[in-house]
């Protein structure tokens, strides 16, 4: 549906987008993830024909955006970072303007009413946009993107500045839209892509760092199982037991104390669920386990480390699979985090 | 393109700006008309039109200042530029919206001349030497010529305002710069009289917007002048389109 091929956008000597290639299939929801200034918005603006590219090609539904922008734009509904609203219009006037602007052929009244119901703005339909809250404005922006039932919908940071309830609503809305539209969503919130998207494209400093299915990235984190265990018992003995226990590849005592209980971080071998086994062992030794907390599900760690390591990755020869890299990175990050926490705790003592 | 035109027209009337413009235009024109004709006991309208052209210095920026600058500030231009509309279509639609407002008020302000005709009729009726005074009253040909002339001059000014509005995000900057440039375009024509050098005078008269107006003010339809004003409009509309193209290419 969308194909971006060696796209470059340069401002002077500064590369906003540096040789990006990826494609999006029909009916896919793709999350475009990156820190501020990574080139997300630039890519989206090029995709929608707002900006032009320095070089490279962008095709939408088989139409080249740069060569035949008018035809391509008909296929796209776009919600920019800041919703493009005319504050002095009512929602009704605004949507009707959008309808005329896009030269929409569907039944006007029926189509607009449907859209309003989908994004839940029917009750503010006759109000002036200036008087609407941020959440409603955002929805009016989304409604505008839906006019004409475009095949492709592009959202640039759709949940910025909304309250948690609204964020959940908008995410649900986007997921529903994904059923019969191709959706691209840019964000720097990781839970968002995890919750909504089928696939994640991570971009940093104008380059693609990772392009994987969401479940692959999630699974990558899951392959090594890591836990924080709180065990009541003599710290040194418990730790040596943990270290020598088969199935555990790594164990470390953390500087966290709760009465006579200490917290340890352990990591089991791939594919081994250590929890039950550990419970019985501890019960035998009469060291009660009073807490068990799974770690490492956070996409945040992956993201930060992938972005940090993208520089090193360039130097590496051959292609290292993302899964492996992710796992390594997560390990490192968590270890660093824990050790820094340990030093902090020591200092406070 | 028509959608944008419609939107612009509506935005003049949902904001105060359209009403302010119409009110100020009509007030100035009525006052000037009274002063230059009735007060002076004259049927000659040429002074009226010259003064009105000078008043356009203040009036045109009211129409053009927000055309693009506001869109840019509110980021709504992103909506227009990502919609299936060409940049040319967008610019031309905005130009015609401003022109509609301008032409509408100019034509409406023609009711100012009604009292002149009325007076002339009465004077003729009261006069026993009707043969001699039959020439009394405003000259309709001159009037029409002047109206066409002011519409063309106004179109040139609107295109300038349009271009300036595309250059800045700030409406006030757009308005003041437009005023300055329109004023300069008018003043250049007057400056010409002070210069002896033929070459410079020739160039100045080429730039001068007022010079072309002269024939119209005699009631003569000047085809050259028509082309001149259309060229000026085209040049500034083209420049506006280039501004947007350039911004797209970054």
Q: How far apart are CA B168 and CA A167, in angstroms?
A: 35
Asked if A93 contacts A143 with a C-beta cutoff of 8 angstroms, the reply is no
Supply A18's token pair.
């540096």
Nearest residue to A98 (alpha-carbon basis) of A128, A78, A68: A78
List Cβ neighbours of B84 (8 Å cut-off, separation of 6 or more): A70, A71, A73, A74, A102, A103
Supply B125's token pair.
């009726």
Supply B127's token pair.
């006069």
Residue B230 is predicted with a pLDDT of 94
The average pLDDT across A75-84 equals 91
pLDDT digits (tens, 9 = 90+) for A273-312: 788 888 898 899 888 888 888 775 455 556 655 655 555 5
CA closest to B74 among chain A residues: A84
Residue A317 is predicted with a pLDDT of 42
| b/e code B33-65 from CB counts within 10 Å (16+ = b) | beebbeeeeebebbbbbbbbbbbbbbbbbbbbb
pLDDT digits (tens, 9 = 90+) for A204-235: 888 888 888 877 766 665 555 678 888 988 88
Check pLDDT > 80 for residue A191.
no
Check pLDDT > 90 for residue A34.
no
CB atoms A102 and B83 under 8 Å: yes
CB atoms A84 and B78 under 8 Å: yes
Interface membership of A175 toward B (CB under 8 Å): no
CB atoms B84 and A78 under 8 Å: no
Residue A319 is predicted with a pLDDT of 44
Q: In Å, how far is A334's CA from the nearest CA of chain B?
A: 42
The average pLDDT across A324-328 equals 57
The domain segmentation of chain A, as residue ranges, is: 2-220, 223-295
Check pLDDT > 60 for residue A325.
no
CATH no., domain A2-220? 3.40.50.300
Check pLDDT > 50 for residue A196.
yes
List Cβ neighbours of B188 (8 Å cut-off, separation of 6 or more): B204, B207, B208
Question: How would residue A334 be classed by pLDDT, with cut points 50, 70 and 90?
Answer: low
Supply B85's token pair.
């509309």
Give the fold, CATH level 3, of A223-295.
Answer: Alpha-Beta Plaits (3.30.70)
Q: What is the ipTM of this complex?
A: 0.87
Interface membership of B9 toward A (CB under 8 Å): no
Residue B171 is predicted with a pLDDT of 93
pLDDT digits (tens, 9 = 90+) for A308-321: 555 554 555 444 45
Give the pairing of strands A29-33 and A199-204.
parallel
Residue A320 is predicted with a pLDDT of 46
Instruction: Look at A347 and B150; give whichever has higher pLDDT.
Output: B150
Instruction: Look at A6 and B222; give whichever has higher pLDDT.
Output: A6
Q: Looking at residue A33, what DSSP letter applies?
A: E
Nearest residue to B212 (alpha-carbon basis) of B197, B194, B228: B228
Contact list in A for residue B2 (CB cut-off 8 A) is: 100
* A174 three-class SS: helix
Contact list in A for residue B7 (CB cut-off 8 A) is: 86, 97, 100-101
The phi, psi pair for A258, rounded to 5°, reads -135, 95
Residue A123 is predicted with a pLDDT of 93
Q: How far apart are CA B247 and CA B81, in angstroms?
A: 11
pLDDT digits (tens, 9 = 90+) for B165-199: 999 999 999 999 999 999 998 888 778 778 888 88
Question: How would residue A346 be classed by pLDDT, with cut points 50, 70 and 90?
Answer: low
pLDDT digits (tens, 9 = 90+) for A126-179: 999 999 988 899 999 999 999 999 999 999 988 887 888 888 888 888 888 888
Check pLDDT > 50 for residue A349.
no
Check pLDDT > 90 for residue A247.
no
Question: How would residue A337 be classed by pLDDT, with cut points 50, 70 and 90?
Answer: low
| Regions of chain B short of the pLDDT cut 50 | none
Residue B129 is predicted with a pLDDT of 65
Residue A211 is predicted with a pLDDT of 84
Nearest residue to A51 (alpha-carbon basis) of A79, A10, A84: A10
Q: Which of A50, A85, A88 sits opposite B81 (nearest CB)?
A: A50
């Amino acid at each position: 549906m969308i194909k971006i091929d060696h796209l470059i956008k340069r401002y002077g000597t500064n590369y906003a987008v540096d040789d990006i290639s990826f494609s999006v299939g029909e009916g896919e929801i793709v999350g475009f993830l990156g820190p501020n200034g990574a080139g997300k918005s630039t890519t989206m603006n090029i995709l929608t024909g707002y900006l032009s590219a320095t070089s490279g090609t962008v095709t939408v539904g088989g139409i080249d955006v740069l060569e035949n922008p008018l035809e391509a734009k008909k296929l796209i509904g776009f919600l920019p970072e800041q919703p493009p609203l005319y504050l002095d219009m009512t929602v009704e006037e605004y949507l009707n303007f959008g309808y005329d602007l896009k030269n929409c052929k569907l039944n006007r009244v029926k189509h607009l009413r449907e859209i309003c119901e989908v994004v839940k703005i029917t009750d503010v339909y006759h109000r002036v946009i200036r008087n609407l809250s941020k959440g409603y404005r955002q929805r009016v922006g989304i409604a505008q993107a839906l006019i004409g039932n475009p095949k492709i919908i592009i959202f640039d940071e759709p949940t910025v500045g909304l309250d948690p309830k609204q964020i959940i609503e908008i995410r649900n809305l986007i997921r529903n839209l994904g059923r019969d539209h191709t959706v691209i969503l840019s964000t720097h919130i990781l839970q968002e892509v995890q919750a909504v998207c089928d696939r994640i494209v991570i971009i940093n400093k104008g380059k693609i760092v990772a392009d994987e299915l969401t479940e692959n990235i999630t699974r990558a984190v899951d392959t090594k199982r890591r836990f924080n265990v709180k065990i009541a018992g003599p710290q040194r003995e418990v730790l040596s037991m943990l270290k020598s226990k088969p199935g555990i590849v790594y164990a470390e005592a953390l500087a966290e104390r709760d009465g006579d209980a200490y917290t340890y971080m352990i990591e089991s071998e791939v594919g081994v669920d250590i929890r039950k086994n550990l419970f019985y062992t501890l019960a035998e030794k009469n060291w009660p386990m009073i807490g068990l907390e799974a770690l490492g599900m956070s996409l945040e760690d992956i993201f930060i480390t992938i972005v940090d390591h993208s520089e090193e990755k360039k130097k590496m020869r051959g292609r290292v699979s993302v899964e492996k890299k992710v796992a390594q990175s997560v390990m490192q990050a968590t270890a660093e985090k824990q050790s820094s926490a340990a030093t902090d705790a020591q200092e406070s003592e | 393109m028509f959608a944008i035109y419609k939107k612009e027209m509506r935005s003049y009337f949902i904001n105060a700006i359209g009403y302010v413009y119409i009110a100020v235009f009509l007030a100035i024109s009525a006052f000037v008309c009274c002063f230059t004709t009735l007060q002076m006991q004259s049927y000659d309208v040429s002074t009226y039109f010259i003064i009105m052209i000078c008043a356009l210095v203040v009036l045109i920026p009211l129409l053009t200042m927000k055309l693009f600058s506001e869109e840019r500030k509110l980021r709504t231009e992103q909506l227009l530029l990502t919609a299936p509309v060409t940049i040319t279509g967008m610019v031309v639609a905005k130009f015609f919206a401003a022109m509609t407002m301008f032409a509408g008020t100019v034509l409406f302000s023609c009711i100012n001349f009604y009292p002149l005709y009325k007076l002339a009729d009465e004077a003729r009726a009261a006069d026993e030497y009707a043969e001699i005074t039959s020439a009394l009253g405003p000259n309709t040909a001159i009037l029409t010529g002047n109206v066409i002339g002011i519409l063309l001059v106004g179109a040139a000014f609107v295109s300038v305002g349009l271009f300036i509005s595309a250059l800045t995000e700030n409406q006030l900057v757009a308005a003041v710069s437009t005023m300055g440039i329109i004023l300069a375009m008018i003043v250049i024509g007057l400056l010409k009289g002070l210069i002896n050098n033929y070459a410079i005078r020739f160039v100045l008269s080429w730039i001068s917007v007022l010079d072309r107006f002269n024939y119209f003010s005699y009631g003569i339809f000047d085809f050259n002048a028509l082309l001149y004003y259309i060229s000026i409009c085209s040049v500034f509309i083209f420049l506006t389109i280039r501004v947007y193209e350039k911004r797209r290419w970054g």
